[in-house]
Amino acid sequence: MTRRFVATLALGLLLVMGVAFGALTHRQADPAARTAGETPAAIEQKPLVAALTDGDSTAAERNLYPAPETVLQMADQLALAPAQRQDLRALQQKSDGELNALSRRIALEERRLDFAFAQNNISPARIDGITAQLGALQGRLRAVRLRSHLAAHDVLTPQQLLRYAKLRGFQPAPPDLYDDLDPDKMDGGGRDGY
């Protein structure tokens, strides 16, 4: 395992532990959650941890938009030039910084939601506001992750991308796989026709 992968995994575990600890310190925390060892916020954090791994990016990877970390792990096999390695490292550092900042904000919003319930200071409007903020942050986290795939793709040559696909065992998609998403073939004849 690379140091970056271990660091990302450790960050995810720290986030889950921090949320769990924060919820356990509230007087009115759910006793069933305490007994099971997981708070509702910790359960909600599991998708966040998955998003920090390659699991959230399967479609990008499969379609030749690899994660910078994945490309760096395969640097020798892909015969990356020193400039490409440097660009990918910079890209990975930038996206890691953004992902870490967003992860902290998500954890804070989860704690706010737990705290509102624990203090019996909750209403439909408050739930809507906090969960909308959580959804927006989680969407931004995913966008940062996927934009890093797009940028990594642009660093590689077409030959390196084909080598990447071969090394990963990816096969080309059947030509009709996405016909139902083609705006010209949709009912209504346009992007807004669905």
What's the pLDDT tens digit per position in 148-164? Answer: 999 999 999 999 999 99
Is the pTM higher than 0.75? no
Instruction: Please give the pLDDT value at position 100.
Output: 96
Reported as a pLDDT band with limits 50, 70 and 90, residue 22 is very low
Q: Supply 162's token pair.
A: 């084909």
pLDDT in tens, 73-126: 999 999 999 999 999 999 999 999 999 999 999 999 999 999 999 999 999 999
Question: What is the DSSP code (8-state) at residue 55?
Answer: G
Distances (CA, A) of 34 to 28, 41, 100: 11, 12, 27
How high does pLDDT run on average in the chain?
Answer: 77
**Could you give the CA distance from residue 137 to residue 105 in angstroms, rounded to a whole number?**
8
Q: Is the pLDDT of residue 141 over 90?
A: yes
CB 33 within 8 A of CB 23: yes
CB 67 within 8 A of CB 149: yes
